Amino acid sequence: QILELYFNIIFVGGNKSNLGIEVAAEYYFNKTVSDLNLAECAYLAGINHSPNKYNPYDTNKDNTELIKKRTKVVLKKMLDLGNIQKADYDEAVAQVDEGLKFEQAQTLGTMYSYHTDATIAQVIEDVAIEKEISKSLATAYVYSSGLTIYSTQDTELQNKMNSVMVDDSSKYIRNSKLNEGAISQAAMVIIDNETGYVVGVVGGLGEKTESRGLNRATQSPRQTGSSIKPLTSLVPGINEGVITAATIYDDTRAEFLNGTYKPKDYNTPKGLISIRSAIRTSQNIPFVKVVTELTPEKSIEYLEKMGVSTIDHERDSLAALAIGGFTNGISPLEMAGCYATIENDGEYRRPMFYSKVTDQNGNTILEGKQTKEQVISPQAAYVIKNILQSVVQSGGTATYCAINGMDVAAKTGTTNSDYDRWLCGFTNYYTAACWYGFDQNEEVVASSNPAGKIWEAVMKKVHSGLDSS
């Protein structure tokens, strides 16, 4: 059983999602394991300690002789142990000398969606906790136990996301000016407000090329810019009674931390301005002042209650976090979870990718545990929703995100040097967070907010045909 488990989960080369001997047979020979000949079996048996060293598809090196030598070592060992006859050995060696006939399958296994990638990752994480085992053992268990995972993905909604971010990706892709061949990327997460389930995920622009590869929606924390203001200022400030929508601040140049921090507005300072108006036009100074009054530690406390896991307590406890000055950034998934907390009357629910997992006999072995916590009062949440709706109304920074017949609340985000663009927001139906930028920090040159345009296109498709709300 241990050996069988090993062969089912071993990495076999190429993409890191290539796991198991059956996938190896497809990847290298376009065959099932049962159709492999002795020489091919010996090759696969010999690559386990360093698969990519013996990968014939590596165009950066000629490893033909390495492959022959390693395969012959395995065949000789099999002969010495009496596992094969001399005639079989001689025939297999002749095939190796002639050159193994490598043929990569056109379609290798199943190409998982980004949602499925995230589902598997969450199940592995929860299995490790539930069974008190390591992540590697949990991975082996999930891949080898014949489990049925009940996903929260809404296929119709996911297809609508794909129609924008995959089929129409050319509208949003920009070529890098710094790294040849690199392109801009985007990631988006949509949560169903009624259930708290993650119903749609896209982790990159364009066609997906590998299963369980990089998922920018769940695995890539990014600087948030102004999209963090509702979370670091409005959520704690209104819930703690420090501010209201009508509280006035002086939006003029100011210094903080004994003159060491001098934030600026991207647009013209407005002078005396209400919190509502400051959010609508995305002023910076008022929100740095709010966080200074609250203390950065208080803002961090609320962020963590809403599921943010990437805070660096030593380095992030500064007023700059009011406008997105984090050490590690936050992923689109966690930003969506925070905004969904506001929409859900102040109650945080862990974003879930699965509802349950059953074994081969239909027994439930894992329930999707949706951690819940009332982070702010329903009254505070109502006020924050109302403030964020003004961002989509006349004079706001996201008027293009308005959807006919729907109450829409949103916040834009742009980071220093235009490295990252965001649009986070919600309707009564769904909460969505969208990030846009380059994997390696590079200026996004665009007259409009690409993240906002993707959010707009996706959410209008998603809400098409739904009752006004």
In sequence order, what DSSP letters do the residues of 364-416 get, joined into one string?
EEEE----EEE-S-HHHHHHHHHHHHTTTSTTSTTGGG--TTS--EEEEEE-G
CA gap 12, 54 in Å, rounded: 10
CA gap 176, 185 in Å, rounded: 10
Confidence of residue 258 (pLDDT cuts 50, 70, 90): confident
> Which one of 24-33, 138-147, 373-382, 439-448 scores highest in mean pLDDT?
373-382
**What's the count of helices (H) and strands (E) in the chain, helices before strands?**
18, 12
CA gap 9, 26 in Å, rounded: 15
Decide: residue 86, CB within 10 A, 0-12 exposed, 13-18 middle, 19+ buried.
Answer: exposed
Residue at 114: amino acid letter: Y
CA gap 163, 135 in Å, rounded: 34
CA gap 445, 76 in Å, rounded: 60
Tell me which DSSP letter residue 166 carries.
I
pLDDT at residue 259, as a whole number:
82
DSSP lists the bridge partners of residue 272 as 250
From the CA atom positions of the chain, what is the Rg in Å?
26
pLDDT at residue 450, as a whole number:
98
Would residue 212 be called left, alpha or beta, if left means φ above 0 and alpha means ψ between -120 and 50 degrees?
A: left
Confidence of residue 353 (pLDDT cuts 50, 70, 90): very high
CA gap 1, 121 in Å, rounded: 24
Residue at 18: amino acid letter: N
- Closest by alpha carbon to 300, among 274, 273, 282, 318? 318
205 has a pLDDT exceeding 60 = yes
Which 3 state secondary structure label does DSSP give 435? Answer: strand
Mean per-residue pLDDT for 163-183?
A: 95
- Closest by alpha carbon to 193, among 349, 307, 306? 349
Decide: residue 193, CB within 10 A, 0-12 exposed, 13-18 middle, 19+ buried.
Answer: middle
pLDDT at residue 301, as a whole number:
98
User: What would the pLDDT profile of 75-87 be if each residue is shown by its tens digit?
Assistant: 999 999 999 999 9
276 has a pLDDT exceeding 60 = yes
pLDDT at residue 212, as a whole number:
82
Tell me which DSSP letter residue 467 carries.
P
Q: Are 101 and 39 spatial neighbours (Cβ–Cβ below 8 Å)? A: no
Structural domains of the chain in order of their starting residue, each with its CATH number: 2-98 (1.10.3810.10), 198-352+372-463 (3.40.710.10)
109 has a pLDDT exceeding 60 = no
Q: Are 333 and 189 spatial neighbours (Cβ–Cβ below 8 Å)? A: yes
pLDDT at residue 128, as a whole number:
94
8 has a pLDDT exceeding 90 = no
Q: Are strands 430-437 and 185-192 parallel, antiparallel or unpaired?
A: antiparallel
CA gap 19, 21 in Å, rounded: 7
CA gap 75, 45 in Å, rounded: 10
In sequence order, what DSSP letters do the residues of 325-367 get, joined into one string?
--SS-B-HHHHHHHHHHHHTTTEEE--BSEEEEE-TTS-EEEE
288 has a pLDDT exceeding 70 = yes
Element (H, E) at 2: helix 2-9
Q: Taking the model in full, what pTM does it have? A: 0.84
Cα torsion for 139, 143, 149, 151, to the nearest 10°? 70
Q: Are 364 and 253 spatial neighbours (Cβ–Cβ below 8 Å)? A: no
Mean per-residue pLDDT for 55-65?
A: 89
Confidence of residue 268 (pLDDT cuts 50, 70, 90): confident
- Longest Cα separation, the chain: 92
User: What's the gap between Cα 4 and its chain centre?
Assistant: 32
pLDDT at residue 140, as a whole number:
80
Confidence of residue 101 (pLDDT cuts 50, 70, 90): very high
Confidence of residue 429 (pLDDT cuts 50, 70, 90): very high
Tell me which DSSP letter residue 223 carries.
-
Mean per-residue pLDDT for 401-409?
A: 98
Each as own residue / partner, the long-range contacts of residues 231-234 (CB below 8 Å, 24 or more positions apart, any chain) are: 231/299, 231/302, 231/303, 231/306, 231/338, 231/339, 232/287, 232/291, 232/299, 232/302, 232/303, 232/321, 232/322, 233/287, 233/290, 233/291, 233/294, 233/299, 233/322, 234/275, 234/279, 234/384, 234/387, 234/388
Mean per-residue pLDDT for 130-159?
A: 90
